[in-house]
Amino acid sequence: MYDAIVLGSGPGGYVCALKMAKLGMKVVVVEKGEIGGTCTNRGCIPMKALLSVADLYHAVTSKASRFGIAVENVSHTPRLFDHMRRSVLTSRKGIEYLLKKNGVDVKRGEGILEDAGRVRVVNDGEEVVEAKNLIVATGSQPVLFPPFDSVDGIWTSDDYFKDPVLPASVLIVGGGVIGVEFSTFFSTFGVNVVLVEMMERILPSEDEDISAVIHGKLKKNGVKIFTSSKVTKLEKRERGYKVWVESEGMEKEIEIERVLLAVGRKPSLPVGIEKLGLRMNGGLGTDSTMRTDVEGVYAIGDVRGKIMLAHVAMKEGVVAAHNVAGHTVEMDYTAVPMVVFSQPEIAVVGLRERDADGKVEIKVSKFPVSANGRATTLQEREGFAKIVADKEGKILGVAIVAHGATEMIMEGVMAVKYGLKVEQLESLIHPHPTMCEVVHGAVEGIMGEALHI
């Protein structure tokens, strides 16, 4: 008998399994698809690999001449997807190696729950595995709804990465993180992109100034954006689709080659989950130790239906592992970073300016990327760093819209996590010239001492 069965090998599942193995437990992972789950195979890794290609292409086509480099006849080929496939394979093989290295058994097949301690693994044959504990880490799947669920060939992010191509045109439904990243990728390579968002602006979960920068950049790249709009009808034609979009009280007809639905994800529940009688709360309900209300059963990652981010799933996996081992560890969601690999990148942690909404007295300071020396040398002029602090100067939130923002946000994560004061960040010597100086500039602004604007 195993100490624990982990259902699913995505970021939460494989990290949880590795941590339990390192804590001396005998662990088995059950996976019906590819090792690594959605993030490795159909999400984070392939998307960021393609966006890395797009970044290089954008740099060559838009910056080379300004840097005095003559580049002629720049083009792209279908081989740009080879980098994506290599990245996915390398990541997947890396996870497989780690599981093997740490003595974690892997059973390939669909895990069907018999009870809280038994899982039937169905592949070519059947095998029942038993354990004292069960960790459900079965992830999520794209949401598909009318009218899109009744028309053949509609892409979701899962579908796209199975056989990626560059269409002549694409209509993307949903202006959140997934929709913005796909719009960034496609438009960089000259695809005619139409982006439809039901809310009044793209990236509606973030502050308006963040949305405005990305809206402007996408528009500059040729993306046609419809906000406060929705698709009411679509028909598959011999070549592509005819789509009806309701916008500004009018209905517009759009001819498009492909349609990609990017409006979020929902928990993927394992077969037999109803036998356990678990509490549901938009997904599997847990407490802060990742325990469900059934003894010995834990849930981590997207299957909880809460914060659907790979790095959150990983941390929840570590927390669950400790508690399975008999330790008492709770999950802390105080400082969860959110990142978007747009152009420029976005990274946010803690309180958003708009969410203060009079509930707490705040001070806000922004420092423009255009005033940063390193940004000038990189020819990256768009964006800003923003600090949100309380009246005593405690840092409540940090937002960065800039080249390299996803790498810079950890300074903000530490500040929010540990309740640092602006004086503490201001006292740090930031290397020059670097992009992270925009954060220092925003901190100076909170103190009323901004030197470079």
Q: Which two tokens stand for residue 327?
A: 């330790």
> Is 327 labeled as catalytic in the residue annotation?
no
One-character DSSP codes across 269-324:
PPTTGGGGT--BSSSB---TTSB-SSTTEEE-GGGGSS---HHHHHHHHHHHHHHH
Query: Would you say 442 and 363 are in contact if contact means Cβ atoms under 8 Å apart?
Result: no
Rounded CA gap, 7 and 113, in Å?
Answer: 10
Please tell me the number of Cα atoms within 13 Å of 201 on its side-chain side: 14
Rounded CA gap, 450 and 267, in Å?
Answer: 46
Query: Would you say 36 and 9 are in contact if contact means Cβ atoms under 8 Å apart?
Result: yes
Rounded to 5°, the CA angle 52-55-61 comes to 145
| 3-state SS, residue 11 | helix
Rounded to 5°, the CA angle 39-279-40 comes to 5
**Which one-letter amino acid corresponds to residue 253?**
E
Alpha-helix residue ranges (DSSP H) falling in 166-252? 177-188, 208-220
> Facing residues of 395 across strands?
389
Q: Name 219's Cβ contacts closer than 8 Å, sequence gap at least 6.
A: 225
Q: At what angle do helices 44-63 and 177-188 cross, to 10 degrees?
A: 40
Q: Look-up: residue for tokens 């804590």?
A: 23
- For 371, counting Cβ atoms within 10 Å of its Cβ (0-12 exposed, 13-18 middle, 19+ buried), the class is middle
Q: Name 239's Cβ contacts closer than 8 Å, sequence gap at least 6.
A: 257
Rounded CA gap, 193 and 236, in Å?
Answer: 18
CA distances, 189 to each of 218, 222, 451 (Å): 12, 11, 39
Q: Which two tokens stand for residue 200?
A: 């009044």
Query: Would you say 291 and 323 are in contact if contact means Cβ atoms under 8 Å apart?
Result: yes
Please identify which of the residues 311, 322, 432, 440 carries the catalytic annotation: 432
Give the residue numbers annotated as catalytic, written as ranges. Answer: 432
